[in-house]
């Protein structure tokens, strides 16, 4: 495949993500839950390294912003509750959703995933911000800590 074809594929991929993101941005996330999951699956499913994102929601559960807070290696990344809280306060959020990928396609959260999520939830609660869920994207699957009983 030549450079022009590779560039065309990358442009098409970026355009697809932008269209998908526009279906989520500014809408009540919790009533468009499948679109949210589909967007983050398409964004993170093929990432070769772990990435952690935060979705910032207003009091009507509309998506204000989504930002990558950490990128790591193939099997780990560092996430600090302080950075999540700082980002949430900068965006004047009501609730947050954490999303991260597992490049190995395993949806089961690690012990570290569970522990850091508990720490983040406590830190956010002190600031009056709720942690709605923590999603793991693994391949074309997406699972939430809430549905697994970890939140």
CATH at residue 71: 3.40.140.10
25 or 8, which is more confident? 25
Q: How confident is the model at residue 123 (pLDDT cuts 50, 70, 90)?
A: very high
Three-class DSSP labels, 83-145: HHHHHHHHCCCCEEEEEEECCCCCCCCCHHHHHHHHHHHHHHHHCCCEEEEEEEEECCEEEEH
Domain that holds residue 84: 3-148
What pLDDT was estimated at residue 21? Answer: 47
What pLDDT was estimated at residue 43? Answer: 85
125 or 46, which is more confident? 125
**What's the structural domain count of the chain?**
1
User: Could you give the percent of the chain with pLDDT greater than 70?
Assistant: 79
78 or 29, which is more confident? 78
**Does residue 17 have a pLDDT over 80?**
no
Q: How confident is the model at residue 149 (pLDDT cuts 50, 70, 90)?
A: very high
Q: Which range is least confidently modeled, 22-31, 57-66, 83-92, 135-144?
A: 22-31
**Does residue 90 have a pLDDT over 70?**
yes
Distances (CA, A) of 84 to 87, 97, 125: 5, 10, 12
What pLDDT was estimated at residue 127? Answer: 95
């Amino acid at each position: 495949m030549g450079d022009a074809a590779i560039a065309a594929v990358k442009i098409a991929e970026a355009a697809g993500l932008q269209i998908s993101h526009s279906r989520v941005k500014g809408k009540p996330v919790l009533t468009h839950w499948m679109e949210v999951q589909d967007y983050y699956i398409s964004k993170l499913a093929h990432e070769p390294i772990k990435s952690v994102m935060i979705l910032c929601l207003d009091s009507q559960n509309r998506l204000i912003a989504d930002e990558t807070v950490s990128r790591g290696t193939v099997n780990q990344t560092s996430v600090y509750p302080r950075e999540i809280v700082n980002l949430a306060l900068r965006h004047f959020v009501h609730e947050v959703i954490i999303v991260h990928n597992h490049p190995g396609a395993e949806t089961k959260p690690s012990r570290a995933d569970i522990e850091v999520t508990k720490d983040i939830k406590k830190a956010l609660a002190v600031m009056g911000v709720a942690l709605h869920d923590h999603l793991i994207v693994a391949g074309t699957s997406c699972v939430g800590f809430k549905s697994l009983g970890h939140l």
